[in-house]
Structure 1
Amino acid sequence: MKLNTKSLLLPLVALIISILGVGLIDPTFLRPAVLINLFADSATLFIMAIGLTFVIMTGSIDLSPQAVAALASVVLALLLPNLGGWAIPVALVVGVVAGAMSGFTYAVLRIPSFVATLAMGGIIASLTLYLSDQRAIQLDAALRSETLRWAIGRTFGLPNEIWLSLAVLIIALIVEQATPFGKAEKAVGFNEFGARANGIRVLRVKLIVFMIGGFFAALAGIVLAARLAAGSPTISNEFLLPAIAAVVLGGTALTGGAGGVLRTLLGVMLIAVFRTGMNFAGVNVLAQQIVFGLVLVLAVGLSIHRSPDNIVK
């Protein structure tokens, strides 16, 4: 397993500077307990961003994760009373199916991923509103404690969200760095025609990355539902832009072929620190979305190589 440590240096330095900067504004931010809670609160964003990383690495984009996360939270809340813990794999399968539908629309029907996933996100959001009757569905406290303890509470003194994020990171790293699929994914993003010429089944790779994205979006929705004790059609609103910004800010190129999940971890931490700094400064949530949009434009602008014959896809 090979990791490019030099490529991680810039976002790592930016993260350290950001943490110290917010610490100058409010010294309590540097307390270990505060930083631990910050990392735990970022778990759902990180999980969603991991799924997006796999998609973006192929040079595609997925605009449906927040809709998939909301659907998974509602499916979990509806099924938990009757199925108990089995509601969790059902919600995850729903996410995988949603991702497969986006992948099919993009890869097989050859509709641009932007359009395919934007349309799929709208369909999923409407389905979620129908299933939930446009309301939040509360989770029974006893069932929540019994079946979702792995997503809430603490183990060995640390929030379970941190342990879950660590497990997700390790699995994603193994898939990315130590499997033929990980190499094929990067090859497709770097040069799709060259990948096809070398015998890589490009269509299958595209389908799988969207299914992975759907799985992690659903997992993020389940964790959100566990944390908030409810499934809701609006539970993951305002998550998409920060998730994409985190992937790109960490150094994964929107054109594909470069980046990875470890970079996304740093990007998520940067977003979390930015958000905390803005909260300390009294910036409201809507204004924060503007900031994330500007950060995304800046990060993409700095990462894309421009020349007269370069094509921005």
Structure 2
Amino acid sequence: MTRLKPHLPWITLLVLVVIVGIAQPAFLHPANLLSLAGDIVPLFIMALGLTFAIYIGGIDLSAQSMANMITVIASLYLAHLGIWVGLLCVLVGFLLGTLSGVVTTRLRVPSFISTLAVGGICFSIAQWLSGNRALNMDAAERNALFGWMIGRTGIVPNELFIALGLLILCLFIERRTVLGRVLKAVGAGEPAAAAAGINVRRYKVLAFAISGALAAVAGLLFAVKLSGGAPTIANGFLLPAIVAVLVGGTPLTGGVGGVLNTAIGTLIVAVIRASMLYFGVEATQQQMLFGLVLILAIALTMDRAKLRTVK
């Protein structure tokens, strides 16, 4: 079972694709698969950021609210800043992610509390800036500046190229940089990493900052796809994003897995979502199912050797 465990995510993905494909042959049509993959890209980007927080044994519960806030910022300031609104969105996400990291490391507040609080700040900012209403982008300006994000190259949605680029970047950070190696060491054993002379606080703050920045990119893509924003427009994405990270094989205890696992986990979530639509599962029941999948994923992936007690 120990040897099989690292291969469970892609085996699960393969089994799910076969099951859904047998039940609904149209599911396996290349155009349908590409469209399905394109639709899941904002969730994948959010999950990609969450991977860094979970990789160190933490959690980022602000990602959904961050994405909501960014849709408002992008919609509100597109006309004033033009293409630079994208940089503003990523910078805001990075800074608020840094705030989560600082609160977690300096004030020693558990990450699920600090990020939940920062998420509340994001939600309040979104309500204040939007007047608690939905905002629309100027369609012509959106298409001129960001239309490439939602266009197609042949039959391939451009969102997939964005996802691939971010995956390669995050994979490089994880496997080819000091930051990636340190994050793995912190997740595997924070006391040992600190004893080795590593400035653990600095690297943990960076992990939350990256998570915030990628949540902002997801929010920007949401805004462009929907041509607007609102304080609740991305609601319902946090749970599937966490599920994508965990079913991909990056446990809450950290130290193993990584962004490539999250890519597989996101595809698993995409197939599950598609199958629920094919089989007529209602939206209210979908969140229930993802909750059950989350519990199962935590139970199967968590390293209990790191937990003496469960509280």
Say if 2:253 and 2:303, in contact at 8 Å, map to a contact too.
Answer: no
Q: Bigger CA drift: 280-289 or 7-16?
A: 7-16
Q: Bigger CA drift: 144-153 or 180-189?
A: 144-153
CA distance in 2 between counterparts of 1:198 and 1:234 reads 44
The CA deviation at 1:135 is: 1.3
Deviations 1:44-68 (A, max 9, x none): 0100000000000000011000000
CA distance in 2 between counterparts of 1:170 and 1:275 reads 25
1:206 aligns with 2:198: no
CA distance in 2 between counterparts of 1:189 and 1:298 reads 21
Give the aligned partner of residue 218 of structure 2: 220
Give the aligned partner of residue 74 of structure 1: 72
Q: 1:282 aligns with which of 277, 280, 299?
A: 280
Compared with structure 1, are the counterparts of its residues 121 and 145 closer, same or farther at alpha carbon in structure 2 (3 Å cutoff)?
same
Say if 2:253 and 2:306, in contact at 8 Å, map to a contact too.
Answer: no
Please list, as runs of the form range in 1=range in 2, the aligned pairs for 1:175-194 lying within 5 A after superposition: 175-194=173-192
CA distance in 2 between counterparts of 1:56 and 1:65 reads 12
The CA deviation at 1:120 is: 1.3
**Number of matched pairs:** 309
CA distance in 2 between counterparts of 1:201 and 1:222 reads 32
Give the aligned partner of residue 23 of structure 1: 21
Compared with structure 1, are the counterparts of its residues 309 and 293 closer, same or farther at alpha carbon in structure 2 (3 Å cutoff)?
closer
CA distance in 2 between counterparts of 1:29 and 1:65 reads 30
SS at match of 1:148: helix
Give the aligned partner of residue 45 of structure 1: 43
1:134 aligns with 2:114: no
SS at match of 2:255: coil
Deviations 1:85-141 (A, max 9, x none): 111101111111110111111111110111111111112111111111111111111
TM-score by length of 2: 0.96
Give the aligned partner of residue 123 of structure 2: 125
Q: Percent identity?
A: 46
CA distance in 2 between counterparts of 1:306 and 1:51 reads 24
Give the aligned partner of residue 302 of structure 2: 304
CA distance in 1 between counterparts of 2:113 and 2:305 reads 27
Give the aligned partner of residue 151 of structure 1: 149
CA distance in 1 between counterparts of 2:307 and 2:189 reads 16
The CA deviation at 1:7 is: 6.0
Compared with structure 1, are the counterparts of its residues 147 and 308 closer, same or farther at alpha carbon in structure 2 (3 Å cutoff)?
closer
Give the aligned partner of residue 87 of structure 2: 89
Say if 2:51 and 2:259, in contact at 8 Å, map to a contact too.
Answer: yes
The CA deviation at 1:155 is: 2.2
Compared with structure 1, are the counterparts of its residues 242 and 212 closer, same or farther at alpha carbon in structure 2 (3 Å cutoff)?
same
Say if 1:8 and 1:263, in contact at 8 Å, map to a contact too.
Answer: no
Amino acid at match of 2:308: N
Compared with structure 1, are the counterparts of its residues 308 and 265 closer, same or farther at alpha carbon in structure 2 (3 Å cutoff)?
closer
Deviations 1:257-293 (A, max 9, x none): 1110000001000001001101111111121111111
Give the aligned partner of residue 10 of structure 1: 8
CA distance in 1 between counterparts of 2:78 and 2:99 reads 25
Q: Bigger CA drift: 297-306 or 179-188?
A: 297-306
RMSD over aligned CA atoms reads 1.6
CA distance in 2 between counterparts of 1:24 and 1:215 reads 39
The CA deviation at 1:311 is: 4.0
Gaps of 5+ in 1: none
SS at match of 1:114: helix
Amino acid at match of 1:258: V
SS at match of 1:101: helix
Q: 1:113 aligns with which of 111, 114, 120?
A: 111
Gaps of 5+ in 2: none
Deviations 1:126-163 (A, max 9, x none): 11111111111111111111111231101243111000
Q: 1:241 aligns with which of 239, 242, 254?
A: 239
The CA deviation at 1:197 is: 1.0
TM-score by length of 1: 0.95
The CA deviation at 1:231 is: 1.4
